Amino acid sequence: MKAVVLLSGGQDSTTCLFWAIKKYGQKNLHALGFDYNQRHKAELAYAKACCDSHEIPFKILVLHPLGQLDNNSLTNLSTDVDKTVLPGATPNSLVEGRNLIFLTYASIFAKTIGAKAVVTGVCETDFSGYPDCRDIFIKSSNVTISLALDYPINIETPLMWLNKAEIWKMAEILGIYDLILNQTLTCYNGIPGQGCGTCPACDLRKKGFEEYLCMN
């Protein structure tokens, strides 16, 4: 069965790509990335390099209008990324509705190539306050998108109930620890590997990495 993987080039989505390789087989995969004028757009180069080295087709869709709908720090370079977020508050790196739009486009693409599964790296355990990373949102979207397309899409979320330390462990089990450590870009400021160390994405990645090392 064919599957489409939403691939940003960061830790989570790249881990999902290799999870999907194991489940569906390399020849049955297509990867899809999105250029929404994000400040860390360099992540797409890492996604492409990963796909090229494993002979997986990679398509980038340009969705620049997404960044024009609200003021957030990922698409507005004049707004600094929050370094700290108060408990219960939503970080200013939230791009409203991003995953809803991504999943819709990915599902349309899946239907056109005859794929029945869409794999995404969203995670509720370490979801950073993003409402469109929650399991209830994914389940609701799955029903709505399948009805809209009149096509049986299955949205898969292999990381949904894992924390970052457990995601590092998954990378180790999949044999991609070094690749995730050095050849992914999670940092909102566009620095690969362990990143800038100060943005929320780097902070989450670093804390998870330290917890992972304590597990071993």
* Tens digits of residue pLDDT in 76-96: 665 666 566 555 666 666 666
**pLDDT-based confidence at residue 63 (cuts at 50, 70, 90):** confident
164-190 burial, b for 16+ CB within 10 Å, e for fewer?
bbbbbbbbeebebeebbeebbbbbbbe
Mean pLDDT, residues 165-176 taken together? 98
Give the per-residue pLDDT at 179: 97
pTM value > 0.85: yes
- Tell me the C-alpha distance between 172 and 169, whole Å: 5
* Residues 124, 27: Cα–Cα separation, whole Å: 30
Domains of the chain: 3-215 (3.40.50.620)
Q: Distance between CA atoms of 149 and 190, rounded to whole angstroms?
A: 35
pLDDT digits (tens, 9 = 90+) for 117-133: 999 999 998 656 788 88
For the chain, give the percent of residues with pLDDT over 70. Answer: 84
Q: Which amino acid does the sequence have at 66?
A: L
Asked whether residue 66 carries a pLDDT value surpassing 90, the answer given is no
- Collapsed DSSP state (helix, strand, coil) of residue 29: strand
Q: Across the chain, what does the average pLDDT equal?
A: 89
Instruction: State the average pLDDT over residues 38-52.
Output: 92
Tokens 């780097």 belong to residue: 202
pLDDT 10s digits, 194-212: 998 888 888 889 999 999 9
The whole-number pLDDT of residue 19 equals 98
